[in-house]
Structure 1
Amino acid sequence: MINRVVLTVHQLNDYVRVLLARDPLLQKVSVRGEISNFKHHSSGHMYFSLKDEQARIQCVWFKQKRTGAVFPVKDGMQMIATGNVSLYTRDGQYQLYVEDMEHDGQGDLHLKFEELKKKLREEGLFNDEYKKPLPLLPKKIAVITSHTGAAVRDIIRVITQRNPYVSLLVIPVAVQGQNAAEQIARAIEYANTRNDLDLIITGRGGGSIEELWAFNEEITARTIFRSHLPVISAVGHETDFTIADFVADVRASTPSNAGELAVPESINLLSMVKGMQKSLLNAMDFNINRKHHSLELLVNHYVFQTPRLLVDQHSQYLDLLIQRMNYAVESHYKHAREHMSQLVSTLQALSPLNVLARGYAIPFNEGFTKPIRSIHQLTPKQRIRLLLQDGQAVCTVDEADDASHYAEDNIRRKSYGK
């Protein structure tokens, strides 16, 4: 029986640690990755992970290993860490003991990308409310890209196949390298000065983040946002995203897709026109048939079959109206006459002539200008006039007595029967 070796956990972990320590490659290794789970301990040590799309490794950067000025470290930074790999015996976990760390150039670009993306999003440059619709049937399209790349050939090929009647204006620019972003911005501004363009396509083929960086520059993004012409961004492959994609009115996954989005296929347009033509003819037939049916109803209407009947009906209705009018006039006249009689009766009852007819007289001054209402208006030998029912008489006042004692005598006579 073969003798077996039984180790404790500590012995096994320590054995692996020694094996790692004997490997010269692992004693000075540089690892590229993204910082995550970063923690700066109160002791001064830094603990974090380096990760890529497939794996991660735990790292520790002891305070005494950091010399000179140390840049800020935070999650999301792309870094290159140099150090040795060993096993942390207690946990049985191998990790990278960092001795030095530097920015990864590619990581810096990712960081700049995220910072600019956040800035422009907060300013509202990505908002849907600013997105302009693409024209349904553009007559002329500006293509802003490299005139030697595959992207321009793909765009021209797709648009020509889909609709050969669309004109294209290729504005050649550098799509990578120094001053590429400025060239793209100036080309977009130039396109906006022309009156014969309906749409702009700008982009390039795929590449690394450095190669696509011209479409991540702030000047490119802001120029696209200011464009009054709709802009399709067609940068890289379907998995590539740039700042220009977020600002543009429409993002195409590839340059070929940009051609598809910009121009509908002529065969589809022809089919749509034929469908509209058929719908129009059907609508015309329906309307003509409906009008024809209405005309038949009118022709067969009794009014046109027996027009005299309609005249007779209206004549009868006119007689009825005249009868109603005469009755209304007579009724109104009768009511007015009765009302007038009542007014005359009231006036007659209140007329002073009726008072005179009952044997009374009304005294006036000699000039017949004022009625005499009191004995205090009279003086002896005064001439007055009396108005009677059938004329007037001139009298002379001999005496004017107070009428109160006549009233007392009348009361006394009624009381004693005298």
Structure 2
Amino acid sequence: MLFSQHQNDVISVTSLNRMARDLLESGLPALWIAGEISNLTLAASGHGYFSLKDDRAQIRCVMFRNRLSGLGFRPQEGMQVELRGTVSLYEARGDYQINVDAMRVAGLGRLYEAFEKLKARLATEGLFDNRHKKPLPTHPAAIGIVTSPAAAALRDVVTTLQRRMPGIPLILYPTPVQGEGAAAQIAAAIAAANLRREVEVLIVCRGGGSIEDLWAFNEEVVARAIAASALPVISGVGHETDTTIADFVADHRAATPTAAAELASPSREALQQTLDFGLRRLERALGRLLMDKSQRMDFLGKRLQHPGERLRRQQLLLQAQQQRLSRAVRQQLQQQQRRLEQWQHRLERSRPGLPARQQLLAARAAALRQAIHRQLQAGQLALTRHQATLAAINPEAVLQRGYAIVQNRDGRVIRSPTELSQGERLHIQLAEGATDAVVELEQGTQRALPF
């Protein structure tokens, strides 16, 4: 920006600083600058103030709260950084400064570039596609953990799993999680877990750290080991703001190792609540079923006839049949008597050989009376046998002799003490009423106690 001024024109300091700021902001684009943090101050407002210096010069810098809070690390005194910002001027003091909008640890530019290149290549190959993601088992029989035995993340995962479902076995596949060669060992641990088939789900985890600390999980060998795993893999690497290639390839990504443990295991409390709810539903269903069956039993009980009642009805039926038989015999005898009288009248009218015929007729009449008498005796004997049989099988007659009918709750007649069980309720039918009892088993015998 160019401007001109007449010899006698006078401007204020404020105007000069504003023009200088406009010149700086319009004349210089946003720049990436490398240097060392010095004189760092993190204000209560959340803004950060510091100087960026090298061995020959320094410049004041400000990073406002909304930018500072989005960093994945905390700036520290003496830290070598690369920052991007616009050159400006703080008008109130006339200080030349840089307004910082991005910052990274020095040397991380190459790591970020490598991260983005590998991420793009693996995405093109389809390693991040949801169609390759495997579902997690609802109730895993065992859970595998791929991490360092000394990692704090291991303690977090184990504590969470023991709290949520302490009965699930845990198997550690130990491996370094940072440093040279860590990526190859992480991949080997994942392959070993798949080969041994001891678990149903794998948690690959470590705690938070810088991008260099987490870089093993950005290596291609780890990404391909996770993609080739037949076991579902949960990635719990770093803190919530940390993102690695392993997170994109894994079947499920958790913000923290603790969150990974929660994804891998069912909650004992939630399962208990589900079981309690199911138990209450089952109790209500059984209660309704018992009520229905009780009402059905009462209905059938009203229709059920006592054996004595059935015998009385059969006895009445037998008496009716006896009366019908007696009437039939008398009617037959009367009919035969009338026929005999008719024959006598006819004989008296014709009178041929009357004495001989009278003797024959008298003999036949005597034979007929004897036959009828024998038939009546046979019928009477049969009736007597039927009555004796009815009296012998009548339960009431048996009960009158001091016996009793013992039935269980289902109405089944008890015939042996071996059919009894402790506390079973019985129904006992006596000659002059009925009572209920409870079985009390003693050493070598059974005893029914009334109640």
Give the TM-score, by structure 1 length. 0.48
Tell me the TM-score normalised to structure 2 length: 0.45
Structure (1 or 2) with the larger CA radius of gyration? 1
